[in-house]
């Protein structure tokens, strides 16, 4: 009996040794004071889309979501340079938390902020970390996202063999795609199946990084499918969004303005950015959780380059371009 107990103890110690430390200390996070943030660039409009990790459709608690906001995407509409941009944030990124519950405990995962302190606070946190003022948000549940996708007629998605196998074995019914999914290929996904696809984390490699890519893929594909949408259909979509969200601070007038910006830009190619960009992140085990420690300085540079490149784009609307080219030929470049 003693020998067996010693063997079990050794096995337990070896098992515990296989796990990383539960209290690794992340580096301090420097953020930009909110009052020092510049105003959005002329013609750029930012809207934060948040999805809490629940299917239930019930009221919030004091304006806060009830689940973690595992889907975080910033939509930027640039009416000056005619660009549509999607920026996704990895859900387990460590951020500097406002008003931490415990003195000295000022760092936490980004997907906890809205649940703990409200969506306005999450907007502020994201603004200070990426150097861009964001103050408009909409929070959805998975059911809301599913219903909106169904309203748009579903979404066409191309899946790999591994993704198809995973979805078929564990997550979706055979009738949730057209045609019925059998292997790798392109299918029309219903809303529920599309949400399950966006949440894949354990198939195809890449973990949460590929999950954010799948979210961007679905959103950009939906935007592509709406290129031929009519103005009346766009206005109807506004009503559907207003009826299918947990909470938003965007009123009807502002929502219609956003719709009109999007309608104007519906022919644009959707551009994408992930926060963190390549080379600006490494995994960390923090207070017993898997998390990602980001180089926020690099993230801010990537974000600024992404947005400010709008003003290097020149889209002529008349014949003045020819005059400009003739002026360039006569220009003395040595002066």
DSSP 121-181: HHHHHHHHHHTS----EEEE-HHHHHHHHHHTT-EEEEE-HHHHHHIIIII--GGGEES--
| Phi/psi at 273 (5° precision) | -140, 140
What's the mean per-residue pLDDT of the chain?
Answer: 83
Q: Which stretch of DSSP H or E encloses residue 188? A: strand 185-189
What residues are paired with 76 via a beta bridge?
46, 85
Note the pLDDT of residue 312: 46
Note the pLDDT of residue 99: 67
Note the pLDDT of residue 169: 83
Residue 58 burial (10 A CB sphere; 0-12, 13-18, 19+): exposed
Note the pLDDT of residue 170: 74
Geometric angle at alpha carbon 92, from 89 and 93, rounded to 5°: 60
% of the chain at pLDDT higher than 90:
64
Note the pLDDT of residue 101: 56
Note the pLDDT of residue 201: 82
> What parts of the chain have a pLDDT lower than 50?
1-3, 5-23, 103-104, 312-335
Q: Structural domains in the chain?
A: 21-142+237-316 (3.30.420.590), 153-225 (3.40.630.190)
Note the pLDDT of residue 175: 87
- 114 backbone φψ class: left, alpha, beta (φ>0; ψ -120 to 50): alpha
Query: Quick count: other Cβ atoms within 10 Å of Cβ 288?
Result: 10
Mind listing the pLDDT tens digit for each residue in 252-309?
Answer: 999 999 999 999 999 999 999 999 999 999 999 888 888 999 999 999 999 999 998 7
On whether the CB atoms of residues 85 and 272 are closer than 8 A, the answer is: yes
């Amino acid at each position: 009996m003693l020998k067996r107990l010693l063997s079990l103890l050794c096995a337990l110690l070896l098992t515990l040794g296989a796990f990383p430390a539960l209290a690794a200390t992340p580096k301090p996070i420097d953020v930009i004071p909110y009052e020092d943030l510049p105003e959005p660039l002329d013609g750029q409009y930012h809207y934060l889309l948040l999805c809490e990790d629940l299917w239930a459709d019930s009221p919030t608690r004091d304006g806060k979501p009830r689940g973690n906001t595992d889907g975080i995407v910033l939509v930027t509409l640039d009416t000056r340079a005619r660009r549509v941009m999607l920026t996704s944030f990895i859900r387990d990124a460590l951020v500097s938390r406002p008003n931490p519950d415990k003195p000295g405990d000022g760092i936490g995962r980004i997907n906890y902020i809205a649940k703990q302190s409200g969506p306005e606070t999450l907007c502020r946190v994201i603004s200070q970390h990426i150097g861009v003022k964001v103050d408009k948000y909409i929070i959805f549940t998975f059911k809301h996202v599913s219903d909106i996708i169904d309203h748009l007629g579903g979404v066409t998605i191309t899946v790999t063999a591994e993704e198809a196998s995973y979805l078929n074995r564990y997550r979706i019914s055979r009738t949730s795609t057209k045609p019925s999914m059998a292997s790798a290929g392109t299918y029309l996904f219903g809303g529920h199946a599309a949400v399950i696809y966006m949440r894949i984390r354990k198939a195809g490699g890449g973990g949460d990084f590929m999950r954010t890519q799948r979210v961007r893929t679905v959103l950009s594909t939906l935007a592509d499918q709406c290129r031929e949408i009519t103005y009346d259909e766009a206005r109807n979509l506004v009503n559907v969004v207003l009826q299918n969200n947990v909470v938003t601070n965007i009123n009807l007038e502002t929502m219609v303005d956003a719709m009109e910006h999007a309608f104007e830009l519906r022919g644009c190619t959707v551009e994408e950015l992930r926060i963190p960009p390549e080379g600006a992140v490494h995994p960390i085990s923090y207070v017993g959780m898997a998390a990602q420690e980001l180089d926020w300085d690099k993230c801010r540079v990537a974000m600024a380059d992404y947005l400010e490149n709008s003003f290097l784009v020149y889209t002529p609307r008349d014949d003045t371009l020819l005059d400009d080219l003739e002026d360039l030929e006569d220009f003395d470049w040595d002066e």
